[in-house]
Structure 1
Amino acid sequence: MKKFIGVALACGLSASMASCVSTGPGAGVSRGKVVLVEGYGAEYESLFKEHIAKPFTEETGIQVKYRAGGSGTETYAAIRIANGEPGFDLAVMTYFELNRGYQDHLLAPVTEKQVPNMSNVPQKLQEHTYGVGAIQDVQQVSLMYNRGDFPKRPASWDVMWDPKYWQGTLVFNPTNILGVYALLNLADVGGGGISSMGPAFKRTEELAKHALATPTTSAEAVPYMAKQTATAFPYFDGRAAIYAKTYNYDFTVPREGTYANLGAVGIPDGADHKGNAYKLINYWLSESVQERWARAYNVGPAVSGLAFPADFAAQHITTPEQLGKVKVADAATVNKNRTKWQREWQEAVR
């Protein structure tokens, strides 16, 4: 029965992807000259197509067929249900899903042998790929704040508990990875840590009594920024940079430090076009493409030694020194405890 479900899902995803394929030039490409990618939707999809897929096809002749799915968790769930044969060749996820794929033996090996440009990736990032994927970008959890409420940049996460601001704060649900990082930051600031999360739930309970909202997704914060009712809240630097240009908001990393979120790609073990998937990863990790992707998506690159404008480098992780300071949560610990943390969070915000 499990194998049947997996095959059915794989066929469904393949059919869905096929329905998205254009009938223009390249639509009749041979089976061997294609790579099927499952990734995020919205701006991620458009940026990927423009800055990765199109130039990759122009350089290699390999057509990239992109399907916008859900979160990294949902994409990996499709791989797992399909027993490693989900009907796509490359999955855009996070390093948390790479860890699950490593544990489940459902992702193909990704090493310098298949992807030579992996040699450009710092060891701190490579150790979070578990030999079954690659890190292609680095985000960090920043403190987004209303310029009208803060004449100066806030220096600490503690401003969210200041009575002057707490009615405009947002407490993210840990069903979203942003909410997980928010909890980890609260644990650290409160004197705990990933193995001692009590302080995080205590501070969440205190804040939830006054908070403006408890969003499930980062997109749910946008209306509050549009109305300027949000004061200060955690937000990934990639999206923060977008809305800092649109609304009266800016972002910073508080003095207590923060966590990095590692964008990752993995290849399902039963993928039909593994060779092309390896080529796409290698292309994505080339220096020129890394620089282009980082600027387009407002994130840090996964390779070292690239040059960026000073204002960009000041707000994103672009140097070995910045990468050395940011915290990377242990994926196995997060994966093991995430459901439990969600329950405890729900109790705290009641």
Structure 2
Amino acid sequence: MFKKLLASGVALAALSGAAQAADKKLVISVYGFAQDAFKEIVYDPFEAQCGCELVVETGNSVERLAKLEARKDDPEIDMAVMSTHDALSAARKGITQSIDVSRLSNYDKLYDIAKDPVGDNMGVGYTFYATSIAYRADEVTIESWADLFQDKLKGRVAFPNVSTNQGPPALYMVGKAIGDDAADLKAAIGEVAKNKDDIVTFYERSSQVAQLMQQEEILAAPIGRFAWGAYSKMGFDMAWATPKEGQTGGMNVMILTKGAKNEDLAYEFMDFWLSTEIQTKLAEALVDSPANSEVKVSDEIAENLTYGAETVESLQLLDPAVILDNRESWLSEWNAQIGQ
């Protein structure tokens, strides 16, 4: 009888443990790109570590932010990743809560620009990218953002639309090049407008630019570093500009929803993602440039990333509040001077 009771107790304990594991569920909201790589490098290993279920929701920034806002009083998503300005927008709408960075063992390993890019610890940077000018070095020389409008590039250059992630940062650097980097970007938009007839396209997708470059219809364009790999393999003498005004770029951050139902798991997952091991694997897979300063990769891998202390320190990122407070006026000014 004792043996039967003991066996029953062990079986009940096993069932109870399985039930508890099944009850542990973390819901995250992320960008839709490179999900196969993220599953292999991040999601599956984390599930194995935590003994929990990871539910991944994907979509574009507008859709995901709208869903977070719609459910802010009863959040179903615990943790999300988004741009710094979208994170600030979420914070202003009361969707997110301040992150207790003392609960992140890998926080001190981050580059300084990634530690509190939104303010009030409302987001922690996990990746960033540089934006500069990709160009044909055998055809032109680029030493300044103003060189985009040189005679040799008339009818041979592409520029990002103001509505894209690359648009405002590129305009900001054009403004710096002509001596007016005011937040309204009027001078920069005016400079682009003055040269609009010599610009092949105001692109909305990075794939457009790569195709035009491959077909030799353009010789230069501002792009994000994450897209550089395609250009380096084109068989041309391609170069990445280091303009005298510097490089700009963007950053993505992790946020914690206000009232998250699985807060402890969210912190565990964020810390896992920020670890040197995971950030290194993502970098080696050319998925994300590392925000963890301890990551070391080969020169070949680094060539395709925004990598290293010197590069990171050179980035001139637009303040997320500037983007959030001005993007409607930027679009209005753009449409007035350049058209849709």
The TM-score bracket by the shorter chain reads: 0.7 to 0.9
Structure 1 position 264, deviation (Å): 1.0
Could you give the per-residue CA deviations for residues 149-205 of structure 1, whole angstroms, max 9, x where no partner exists? 34xx63332332122223122221222111111111111112112435222111110
Cα RMSD after superposing both structures: 2.5
SS at match of 2:260: coil
Equivalent position amino acid for 2:229 in 1: A
- Quote the Cα distance in structure 1 between the aligned partners of 2:112 and 2:99: 15
Distance 2:54 2:156 in 1: 43
Match of 2:93 in 1: 104
Matching of residue 183 in structure 1 with residue 171 in structure 2: yes
- Is 1:293 the counterpart of 2:282? The answer is yes
Letter in 2 for 1:45: Q
Secondary structure of the equivalent of 2:98? coil
Equivalent pair of 2:226/2:304 in contact (CA under 8 Å): no
Q: Within 5 A, what are the aligned runs for 1:25-104?
A: 32-42=23-33, 44-71=34-61, 73-83=62-72, 85=74, 87-104=76-93
Determine the structure 1 residue equivalent to 2:131. 141
2:7 — aligned with what? none
Match runs of 1:236-275 below 5 Å: 236-245=224-233, 248=236, 249-275=238-264
Task: State the alpha-carbon separation in 1 of the partners of residues 316 and 205 from structure 2.
Answer: 22
Aligned AA (1:233): A
Letter in 1 for 2:248: Y
Contact 1:201 1:344 in 2 (8 A): yes
1:200 aligns with 2:173: no
Q: Please name the residue that 1:343 is paired with.
A: 332
Shift in Å, 1:321: 2.9
- Partners of 2:76 and 2:137 in 1: CA distance: 46
Identity of matched residues, %: 19
CA-to-aligned-CA distance 1:85-121 (integer Å, 9 cap, x gap): 4532222201112222232221132122332221222
- Residue 45 to residue 262, structure 1, CA distance change in 2 (3 Å): same
Question: Does the Cα contact within 8 Å between 1:157 and 1:256 map onto a contact in 2?
Answer: yes
What one-letter code is carried by the residue in structure 2 that aligns with 1:264?
Answer: V
| Cα pair 1:170 1:212 within 8 Å, conserved | yes
Equivalent residue, structure 1, for 2:161: 173
Residue 34 of structure 1, CA deviation: 2.7
CA distance in 2: counterparts of 1:86 and 1:166, whole angstroms:
51
Task: Say if 1:237 and 1:299, in contact at 8 Å, map to a contact too.
Answer: no
Aligned length: 319
**CA displacement, residues 327-348 of structure 1 (integer Å, 9 cap, x when unaligned):** 1211112100011101111222
Deviation at 1:310, TM superposition (A): 3.0
Deviations 1:41-72 (A, max 9, x none): 24x3233222211222233333333232013x
Deviation at 1:221, TM superposition (A): 2.5
What is the match of residue 146 of structure 2? 158
Aligned equivalent of 2:115: 126
Structure 2 unmatched ranges of 5 or more: 1-18
C-alpha distance after superposition, 1:1-52 (max 9, x if no partner): xxxxxxxxxxxxxxxxxxxxxxxxxxx995533322222224x323322221
Return the alpha-carbon distance in structure 1 between the equivalents of residues 176 and 74 of structure 2: 39
Residue aligned with 2:221, SS = strand
Partners of 2:232 and 2:287 lie apart in 1 by 11
- Look at both structures and tell me which one has the larger radius of gyration over its CA atoms: 2
TM-score, normalised to structure 1, is 0.82
Matched residue of 1:267: which SS? strand
CA offset digits 1:128-156 (Å, max 9, x no partner): 14212211012110212245634xx6333
Secondary structure of residue in 2 paired with 1:301: coil
Q: Do the aligned partners of 1:205 and 1:349 also contact (CA within 8 Å) in 2?
A: yes
Task: Tell me how far 1:229 sits from its aligned partner.
Answer: 1.6
Distance 1:54 1:171, change over 3 A: same
Is contact 1:172-1:214 (8 Å) kept?
Answer: yes
Structure 1 residues 84, 52: closer, same or farther in 2, change over 3 A? farther
Question: Comparing 227-236 with 110-119, which one deviates more in the overlay?
Answer: 110-119
Distance of 1:61 and 1:50 partners within structure 2: 16
Match of 1:11 in 2: none
